[in-house]
Amino acid sequence: MNEFIQKSMLVFQDPALRKRIGFTVLMLVAFRALAAIPIPGVDAANLAKLLSSSQLFGFLNIFSGGGLSNLSIVMLGVGPFITASIIVQLLTMIFPSWKALMHDEGEAGRIKLSQYSRVLGAPLAIIQAIGFLILLQSQAVLPHITIAAFSINVIVITAGSILLMWLGELISEFGIGNGVSLIIFAGIVSRLPRDLVQFSAQYNPANLPFYLGVLVVAVLAVAGVVYVTEAERSVPVTYAKQVRGNKVYGGSSTYLPLRLNQSGVIPIIFALSILLFPQIIFGAIGNLAGHPTIAGLSKAISGWLTPPSWPYGILYFLMVVLFTYFYTAVTFDPKLISENLQRTGAFIPGVRPGDHTEQHLGNIVTRITLVGAVFLGVVAILPLVIQTFSPDNSQTLAIGGTGLLIVVSVVIDLLKKVDAQVAMREY
């Protein structure tokens, strides 16, 4: 406890750290100000009705950081750039030259890949803006909008998404923590008062046992996320003895920590981002298509991909598991670690250096990632399952549950980064 208090005091005493935290807060305040600026021509009554009846818009509101609730200029949030980042990372596994950029060229390579994500994110933002505005038009949220006004709104929404991406990068560089995650975090937290008001309006004393059960499940889920995020498999590593002159170096033993879940809650964010994109596109096609068969098929696909349908739940679970493995494969390279161990004269007892070490580490990571991936998938669909059995089929439970998981993961990551900054300054 004393150590925690000392570190907390150091956060406010250190000028550089205080400056980083202040910059982060300033950028988040700027983001919330942008989220309060609506696009022109919005019918507020129809918008409120749509938000209360559509769970798609509730999940999209997570990525917009709450900017969707009043159709702000940042209503798309960072969703297009998350999707672009996923595509770029997938391409690094396909093209060796891109993979070399990530692993061999260090920070310069990662900056170049980030530029690719930005370039790809802009057209994705335009496509999503067009699809989303068409969807809003069909629901009479944007009535009597002209082609010129429609085009201006597309430009404004796309520019808002690009601006939000830029704010996220500024936070990552000059602030503290991951900028994109903190923007999503700020949006979820800003929605808490509204969600509580909505829940109190739907509250039924007869459902109190169910609500208490949900509270217990939520506490256990949060505890499970924290435990799995922190859990690690320790792989023993021994350094070979080296004789230099009359002195003997090495011979010490340590361990290589391999996390059970190396990706945190990022797979959930990735899966939600990917699933939201076709919902918007097929919803827009269904409302625009003149042919009844195409319109019916598009609306059916959009319905299947809308929570809490069973196809959506199954696809959501599978995508979370898939993205957990994918993110682990991108961030953890057994070959690189094996080469680094061999270069420093270290080895895993009972395992030959080189290819055998690479294979050994790969097998361990595959096994422990399976546990983490399945757990994360179950936790991800848990709010949807609870909503299915809810007496009033409350959307707030599903959306709030997903938001809670993201908040917990972001807070854990932020605390680690603050602790790392404090530890670095102690030395």
Q: Give residue 289's pLDDT.
A: 62
Nearest to 74 by CA among 192, 199, 190, 195: 190
Q: Which residues of the chain have pLDDT under 70?
A: 1-12, 52-67, 103-104, 106, 241-251, 284, 286-291, 308, 391-402, 423-427
Look up the CATH number of the domain holding residue 206: 1.10.3370.10
Q: Give residue 2's pLDDT.
A: 57
Beta bridge partners of 259: 232
**Domain assignment of residue 353, given as a range:** 2-426
Q: Give residue 253's pLDDT.
A: 79
Q: Give residue 167's pLDDT.
A: 92
Q: Give residue 159's pLDDT.
A: 93
Q: Give residue 23's pLDDT.
A: 92
Give how many domains the chain has, as a whole number: 1
